[in-house]
Amino acid sequence: MELTQPCFNKVLVANRGAIACRIIRTLRAMGITSVAVYAEADADSLHVRQADEAWPLGEGSAADTYLSQDKLFHILAGSGARAVHPGYGFLSENAGFARRCEAQGIAFLGPTPEQMEQFGLKHTARALAEDAGVPLLPGTGLLSDLDEALSEASRIGYPVMLKSTAGGGGIGMSRCYSDEDLAKTFESVQRLSQNNFSNGGVFLEKFVQHARHIEVQLFGDGQGTVVALGERDCSAQRRNQKVIEEAPAPGLSDDVRQRLHATARALGEQIAYRSAGTVEFIYDPATTEFYFLEVNTRLQVEHGVTEQVYGVDLVRWMVELGAGTLPELSELGNNLAPAGHAIQARIYAEDPNKDFQPSAGLLTNVSWPDDPALRIDTWIQPGTEVSPLYDPMLAKVIIHETDRESARNRLISALDNSQLYGIETNRTYVSQVLADDRFREGRLFTRTLNEFNYQPSTVDVISGGTMTTIQDHPGRIGYWEIGVPPSGPFDSYSFRLGNRLLGNEKSAAGLEITLRGPTLVFNRATQIVLAGAPLDASLDDRAVPFWEILDVAAGATLKLGATTGEGARAYVLFRGGLDCPDYLGSRSTFTLGQFGGHGGRALRAGDVLHLPDSDPVDKARLGQGLRPVLGKTWKLHVTYGPHGAPDYFTRADIDTFFNSEWEIHYNSSRTGVRLIGPKPEWARSDGGEAGMHPSNIHDNAYAVGTVDFTGDMPVILGPDGPSLGGFVCPVTVISADLWKLGQLKAGDKVQFVPVSQDQ
């Protein structure tokens, strides 16, 4: 077909996420206007913010948004874009979409529809590969029924792979070691293929037991010239999904490498391949032979490692080819030379400790190291809400170094020093794979990760309790003047004692529990201390004490029930603290502001807490003399003023205030502790210019522990309370007694005891 398209200055990016950001970045460098599309769930994605224009696709699943051709063509018409870059996934290999673009005079920046169809079905791709002399694994054409499958499997020899001809992404594949295996899975693979790809065709291929996955990057001009830009190793796979990719592939001889390139190039030249594509091979290290697997008629997720090694921009080539401005491809090919080694880690929103189940929710912190050798292709930022509707890939972290070992070590360091907090990701899992000897030595096969032993350093929240939050001491200091409270542990005395017992830093974060505690499962051995108000506590159904170091084994379950008597708040302190990002200098949770701690909220079922690396300490317990004394009646020492008698209260009323026993109101919280007691006698009838009630004054600075008369009811301001307000404050609790506020419980009695500054 005709190669050169009419020139265009505006391109529709028919994709989302990291690849959309990648395409937009290249278009901007070329001076071409980018038109992004987005589903409502992706409204805050970086690709929407980075594009020159952004057009909504509405709400719904991929079928209702990114796969809706009618919506995309409506946006093409409205925006005036005359070209489409499909990226990968979605419509990138949809021949019908590409053909519809051509029919409407839109440049489709990818292969021709015919080439997509030729390579889109694996059995026809095998036939093309056979015609081009590409080595093939022993296999079959499309199978008519199970009897034929059993007969062909006997001819090929077990093990075999039963595959959907229209499959992709590891869907529609089953490994069979016997007639029994094949008989069990034949109908299910057919059904899966029909349901996912509207094509129930299946075929068999010989399965190589210790196989590596090697692929060659191609680029063709559509006129018969095709260049091969080296090969990539994609053997680090989990259930046929790639996790780590690298270029060049380690451990190949020059002869194998050259044969791979030549074979892939010949296959592309046979059909005058256009644009970017990848030929995938199975490589058998035992025999050094390779066999055709499939062709991907699109840009690959892992194209970045090839770009880093060859110093090219494949997206730019695709755009220039579509616009008819690409320099002579043969000349470009002559100047290609690989340099160094690149490795890519795919970062997914998934929990490796829960069989890689997808993880959705709010990313409260996103931080990458500042490393010039590092390339981050991503769409996320702090505050991104990760939707469960789409692919869970968050980022591709790519490192380019002079040699493989340097790249491996630098990528491990980059991942370990990155931070993605709020939902679970596979970041630590990938780092552990990179550190494994089998990866370091280049001995990773496509099935290796299926048996990889991941070691999580986490705690699963099975139930969150009444109100369980992450806090640290002294909390968020330095922002009181602008209305941000310190937060921190309400009973800081118990909290600090627990941390000191464990030998932690003073600022180590722990959990604060109000009235009823959570249930936690530890995925790594550690040590903890329970502090504060006593509550029912058991470790693997064995009662455990407060105020001493407890050894917790990996897999153990800690159940914390209701407080059993005096006091309202208990604490769980962990050896080394909790690994949680700072927000304004503190890990403390401020629930009203929805920031700090774990997502700015109380813990709930399904949350995962992270433990830092730490060495155990010797067992110890806290002496009775240091433990806080809890009760149901309390004396709170306070300093007098600034709003006392005779200006605001009568002298008799102040005497009543100090002589009375106040009851703790049930509606008390970290914001403030409400008190039930005698109605005050005011020394004035109203607040004058400040308001109708005598408690009203113009804005006045508060402190934690200030007793604030909100109308006729006094409230002791807590660590999450306001920094100023318009109410009188006759007394403030002294620092030494502030911890007691955290243990005040509904129904407790309090008496205020005045002390001077000298006292």
Residues 515-533, mean pLDDT to the nearest whole number = 98
How far is it, in rounded angstroms, from Cα 332 to Cα 50?
30
Cα 627 from Cα 36, distance rounded (Å):
61
141-155, 196-210, 580-594: which has the minimum mean pLDDT?
A: 196-210
Cβ pair 527, 550 in contact under 8 A: yes
The model's confidence at residue 238, banded by pLDDT at 50, 70 and 90, is: very high
Q: In 451-543, which ranges are continuous DSSP H helix?
A: 492-502
Helix axes 113-120, 95-103, angle to 10 degrees: 170
Cβ 7 vs Cβ 32: under 8 Å: no
Instruction: Kindly indicate the confidence band of residue 168, based on its pLDDT and cuts at 50, 70 and 90.
Output: low
Nearest to 644 by CA among 724, 737, 728, 555: 728
Q: Which of 475, 487, 472 is nearest to 577 (CA)?
A: 472
Nearest to 243 by CA among 231, 234, 253: 234
Model confidence at 205: pLDDT above 90: no
CA distance linking residue 298 with residue 92, whole number of Å: 6
Mean predicted lDDT score pLDDT of the chain? 95
Provide the token pair at 618: 């010797």
- What is the distance in angstroms between the CA of the first residue and the CA of the last residue of the chain? 94
At 370-404, the pLDDT tens digits run 998 899 999 999 999 999 999 999 999 999 999 99
- Taking the C-alpha atoms of residue 194 and residue 704, their distance in angstroms, rounded to an integer, is 65
* Residue whose C-alpha is closest to residue 522's, from 545, 551, 543, 498: 551
Q: What are phi and psi of 202, to 5 degrees?
A: -135, 160
| CA 303 from centroid of its chain's CA atoms | 22
What pLDDT is stored for residue 122 in this prediction? 77
- Is the distance from CB of 468 to CB of 517 less than 8 angstroms? yes
Dihedral angle of Cα 64, 65, 67, 69, to the nearest 10 degrees: 90
Residue 758 has pLDDT above 90, yes or no: no
Beta strands (DSSP E) in 332-444 are 341-348, 350-351, 357-358, 361-362, 365-367, 374-378, 385-386, 393-401, 419-421
Q: How confident is the model at residue 111 (pLDDT cuts 50, 70, 90)?
A: very high
Share of the chain above pLDDT 90, in %: 91
- Given this model, what pLDDT does residue 196 score? 81
Q: What number is the average pLDDT over the span 260-289? A: 96
Task: Tell me whether residue 737 is exposed, middle or buried, using C-beta atoms within 10 angstroms of its C-beta: 0 to 12, 13 to 18, 19 or more.
Answer: middle
List the one residue out of 590, 751, 587 whose CA is nearest residue 671: 590
The pLDDT of residue 1 is above 50: no
Pairwise CA distance, residues 733 & 716, whole Å: 8
What is the rounded average pLDDT of the residues 472-492?
96
Q: Where are the alpha helices (H) located in 399-533, listed in sequence order?
A: 404-416, 427-435, 437-440, 492-502
Q: Which residues contact 629 (CB under 8 A, 6 or more apart)?
A: none
Task: Give the burial class of 751: count Cβ atoms within 10 A of its Cβ; 0-12 exposed, 13-18 middle, 19 or more buried.
Answer: middle
Higher pLDDT, 196 or 575: 575
Is the pTM here over 0.95, yes or no?
no
Extract the runs of DSSP E, i.e. beta strands, from 589-656.
Answer: 608-610, 633-640
Average pLDDT over residues 64-88: 97
Whether residue 410 has pLDDT greater than 80: yes
Q: Helix, strand, or coil here: 260?
A: helix
Closest of 260, 300, 254, 226 to residue 18, by C-alpha: 300
Q: Check if the beta carbon of residue 609 is closer than 8 Å to that of residue 724.
A: no
pLDDT at 3: 40
Question: What are phi and psi for residue 227, nearest 5 degrees?
Answer: -115, 150
Q: How confident is the model at residue 4 (pLDDT cuts 50, 70, 90)?
A: very low
Instruction: Check: CB of residue 755 under 8 Å from CB of residue 680.
Output: no
Give pLDDT tens digits for 662-671: 999 999 999 9
Rounded CA-CA distance 517/469 in Å is 10
CA dist 294 and 296 (Å) reads 7
The Cα 100–Cα 106 span in angstroms is 8
Using 50, 70 and 90 to split pLDDT, how confident is the model at 258?
A: very high
Cα separation, 238 vs 394, in Å, equals 17
Which region holds residue 87: left if phi is over 0, alpha if psi is between -120 and 50, else beta?
A: left
Burial grade of 175 (CB within 10 A; 0-12, 13-18, 19 or more): middle
In the predicted structure, residue 170 carries a pLDDT above the cut 80: no
**pLDDT confidence of 187, banded at 50, 70, 90?**
very high
Residue whose tokens read 């952004």: 54
pLDDT tops 90 at residue 195: no
Instruction: Please give the pLDDT value at position 2.
Output: 40
Phi, psi angle pair for 17, to nearest 5°: 65, -150
In order, the DSSP letters of 291-331 are EEEEEE-S--TTHHHHHHHHT--HHHHHHHHHHT-PPPHHH
Indicate whether 30 pLDDT > 60.
Answer: yes
- The set of residues, in sequence order, having a beta carbon less than 8 Å from that of 258 and lying 6+ positions away, is none
Question: Residue 759: which residues within 8 A CB-CB, separation 6 or more?
Answer: none
Quick: pLDDT tens for 451-465.
999 999 999 999 999
Look at residue 270 and give its three-state secondary structure.
helix
Residues paired with 242 in a beta bridge? 237
Distances in whole angstroms, Cα of residue 260 to Cα of each of 288, 301, 372, 495, 700: 11, 20, 32, 63, 77
pLDDT surpasses 60 at 6: no
